[in-house]
Amino acid sequence: MLARVVLILVAFGGALFAQDSSGYVFFAPGGITAGGHTAMTLHFGGGGEGILGKGIGLGLELGALGPRSDLSESIGVFSPNGYFHFSRSRGQKSDPFVTAGYTLFFRHGTANLWNFGGGANYWFSEKIGLRVEMRDHVWSARYGTAHYWGVRAGLSFRSGG
């Protein structure tokens, strides 16, 4: 089910936005850090983004995050985000960006978080590129704060004008 939703986001991401748009898939080794301890995780997923103008974009992402030792314990991750691209031009190979937004964790229940990060797309051609990013999903609770961070690598797919 998750794989189907990710494929739909990537395939139809360009139709959601009138201007320039892109989709992506990623794999992210990372960790959950809280109370001075870190447990290693894997996060994978995909999403799409539309550029509204002057480097400002909006996007949606869906993925799964779980402990490296047992991915059957994964949770769902949904994130609507804002983006800012520092240099968004079809002629440039490098496309650095920052992002921030809301995160919803879900499995048997839900949890509300926020996230931030940054990275770059490196475009091999007009339509396909390498995406590298650092993202941190932050959960603040009465007993403390947990960081679900990851170093992402994946592919970007571009469409639109």
As a whole number of angstroms, the distance between CA 32 and CA 66 comes to: 10
- Residues in CB range of 21: below 8 A, 6 or more apart: 13, 14, 48, 49, 50, 51, 158, 159, 160
pLDDT truncated to tens, each residue of the chain (161 aa)? 444 444 444 444 444 444 578 999 999 999 999 999 999 999 999 999 998 988 899 999 999 999 999 989 999 999 999 999 997 666 789 999 999 999 999 999 999 999 999 999 999 998 999 999 999 999 998 889 999 999 999 999 988 65
Domain locations in the chain as residue ranges:
2-151
pTM: 0.85
How many Å is the Cα radius of gyration of the chain? 16
CATH of 2-151, one of 3.50.50.60, 3.30.360.10, 2.40.160.20, 3.40.50.720: 2.40.160.20
